[in-house]
Amino acid sequence: MSQRNWFAMAAIGRDRPGIVADLSECVYACGCNLEDASMTMLGSEFATLMLVSGTGEDLRDRLYEATKRLEWERHVTVFLRPVQPPSSAGAERSTAATLSAVGVDKAGIVAGISRVLADHEVLIVDLRGEIRPVAQSGTPLYTLATRLQVPDAASREQLTADLEEVAARLGIEISLNLAGPA
């Protein structure tokens, strides 16, 4: 039996009914399993990142040909990349956490927060941000929601202090909630 191979597949295209069906049928038709996926709308565009696996010496070629056909027929841009299989062995001990931020929209909110997280070796597992106008004034309000993995070795006090510094500099509110061991 052939070895299992893993691929990251990213796709973006104008949102429309059937785009998820097209992508998942493409994966299925290649004899692959859809292991994990994140899908969302960005403006009028649909975007996804999927982890797929399958077997066969010609799997890469099958996936490549199928995604090129999908691009041509359904006007979806697809990127395909071989990746290492997921592994939990040797993972650093960490604590699950959430971080939310809200404030008047301005450039640098995600950059400032993500730099502090990176400096503390915090892994961003999921990040969602959106701009919505405040009801009465129409002022654009930016809301950020993240799921994190905070290394147990990280200083919670210093992480909190650094996030508070970014919040003060940007004029936003940041809330960090540590959920417990991951």
Q: What was the pLDDT predicted at 91?
A: 53
Is the pLDDT at 182 greater than 50? The verdict is no
Q: In percent, how much of the chain has pLDDT > 90?
A: 88
pLDDT of 87 above 90: no
- The domain tally of the chain equals 2
* Residues 66 and 125 placed together within one structural domain of the fold: no
pLDDT recorded at residue 180 = 52
Asked which of 20-24, 133-137, 148-152 is least confident by mean pLDDT, the reply is: 133-137
Q: How many residues does the chain have?
A: 182
Residues 13 and 65 in one domain: yes
Its sign, for the CA torsion 157, 176, 95, 118, is negative
* Residue 89, domain member (yes or no): no
Same domain assignment for residues 134 and 74: no
Task: Tell me the average pLDDT across 1-15.
Answer: 92
Q: What was the pLDDT predicted at 155?
A: 94
Are 100 and 175 members of one domain?
A: yes
> Do residues 67 and 141 both lie within one domain?
no
Are 113 and 49 part of one and the same domain? no
**Does the residue 129 lie in any domain?**
yes
Question: What confidence score (pLDDT) does residue 95 get?
Answer: 93
Per-residue pLDDT, averaged over 116-143, amounts to 94
- For residue 89, the model assigns a pLDDT of 47
Reply yes or no on whether the pLDDT at 32 is more than 50. Answer: yes
Q: Are 120 and 46 in a shared domain?
A: no
What's the CATH code of the domain at 24? 3.30.70.260
Q: Which residue has the tokens 């071989």?
A: 82
Domain extent, residue 59, equals 5-83
For 90: left if phi > 0, alpha if psi spans -120 to 50, otherwise beta; the answer is left
pLDDT surpassing 50 at residue 26: yes
Gap between the Cα atoms of 182 and 179, Å rounded = 8
